Amino acid sequence: MSIFPISLKDKVVLITGASSGFGEDAARLFAREGCRVVLAARRLDRLQAMADKIQREGGEALAVPVDITNRADIENMVQTTLVVYEQIDILFNNAGIGRVAWFEDHTPERDIELLIQVNLIGLMQVTRSVLPHMLARRQGHIINMSSMAGQIAAPLITSYNASKFGVRGFTDALRREVAPLGIKVSGIYPGPAATEFGQHTGGSITAAYRSVRSRFNVRMSSEYVAERVVDVAKWPRRSLIIPWWFRLLSTFDTLFPVAVDWILYGFSKKNHKIKQDDLT
């Protein structure tokens, strides 16, 4: 980590998933730092409203529609950014979707294929599209949104875990590949936060999920997570777990995986029973 913060003034920041949650808050905060922000997601009306707000407040912003499962959309997003701003200094790969359900209830299309397509493959394709421009300038910072689900594997979020562990592996491998070429790569690992994410997971909330939520009702604000992401852009580092004390959970899982297995076996055993009761 650098000792002095990097000035973000006039940096071009491309943010996927900027229509709500962390992405939307990060766009506002990066703009406040003097960055030129490119807001990308599928809901163009929301991106445009945010871009207009940033412009009214004296900042610079551009709204670009993208579905990151579509490679032509990704190319268009990157080309539009380069035509308008001529460079991409920071890529915040943030778009993502989730699913909370027993794995046997995951649908093959939405909960396995689409989820991996958005969270992992889409993120990789966006990176693949932006990287040559960063390499040509021998500078750039790629910030990938994983999750605590990329640190600790848990029941009910199996597909999501697979995608976010994938993001972690990709992030670490890419950092080791491109660091000598002047490109920084960081992974972000937040715990639960209050965004629209839950509404976008689809499906019904299971009794088991209700039980987890009532026990671990720690939800950070979206703005807090976005502030930490902006901090990572100012003080680049390999990874950031948010809040900091969740590092203890991840260290415990690394050191004592069998103990964590036993704790989570207990959870699954009890809640599979609740599920059976729900069905009868």
Q: Does 272 sit near ligand NDP (CB under 6 A)? A: no
CA torsion, points 161, 252, 249, 116, in degrees to nearest 10? -10
Q: Does 65 sit near ligand NDP (CB under 6 A)? A: no
Compute CA distances 85 → 12, 60, 74, 160, 210, whole Å: 7, 10, 16, 34, 46
Q: Which of 250, 220, 226, 231 is nearest to 150 (CA)?
A: 250
Q: Does 41 sit near ligand NDP (CB under 6 A)? A: yes
271: tokens are: 């809640």
Which part of the chain contacts ligand NDP (CB under 6 A), choosing from 39-47, 125-133, 177-185, 208-216?
A: 39-47
Q: Which of 175, 177, 190, 170 is nearest to 98 (CA)?
A: 190
Q: Does 43 sit near ligand NDP (CB under 6 A)? A: yes
What are the φ and ψ backbone dihedral angles of 195, each rounded to 5 degrees?
-140, -170
Which part of the chain contacts ligand NDP (CB under 6 A), choosing from 92-100, 178-186, 244-252, 269-277?
A: 92-100
Cα-based angle 64, 70, 75 (whole degrees, multiple of 5): 55
Q: Does 17 sit near ligand NDP (CB under 6 A)? A: yes
Which part of the chain contacts ligand NDP (CB under 6 A), choosing from 12-20, 28-36, 127-135, 176-184?
A: 12-20
* Binding to ligand NDP in span 109-168, by CB under 6 A: 118, 145, 147
Q: Which is nearer to ligand NDP, 68 or 134 (CB)?
A: 68
Q: Which of 235, 221, 199, 272 is nearest to 24 (CA)?
A: 221
Q: Does 192 sit near ligand NDP (CB under 6 A)? A: yes
Task: Tell me the CB-side half-sphere exposure of residue 279, using CA atoms within 13 A.
Answer: 7
Q: Does 68 sit near ligand NDP (CB under 6 A)? A: yes
Query: Which is the catalytic residue, given 160, 189, 209, 265?
Result: 160
Q: Does 19 sit near ligand NDP (CB under 6 A)? A: yes
Question: Which one among 42, 106, 110, 213 touches ligand NDP, defined by CB under 6 A?
Answer: 42
Q: Sort 277 into a burial class: Cβ within 10 Å, 0-12 / 13-18 / 19+.
A: exposed
Would you call 265 a catalytic residue per the annotation?
no
Q: Which is nearer to ligand NDP, 43 or 273 (CB)?
A: 43
Q: Which is nearer to ligand NDP, 224 or 252 (CB)?
A: 224
Which part of the chain contacts ligand NDP (CB under 6 A), choosing from 6-14, 172-180, 194-202, 228-236?
A: 194-202
61: tokens are: 């912003």
Q: Does 200 sit near ligand NDP (CB under 6 A)? A: yes
Q: Does 66 sit near ligand NDP (CB under 6 A)? A: yes
* Contact between 147 and 119 (Cβ < 8 Å): no
Q: Which of 191, 192, 93, 99 is nearest to 145 (CA)?
A: 93
**Residues in the site for ligand NDP, rule: CB under 6 A?**
16-23, 41-43, 66-69, 94-98, 118, 145, 147, 190, 192-193, 195-197, 200
Active-site positions?
160
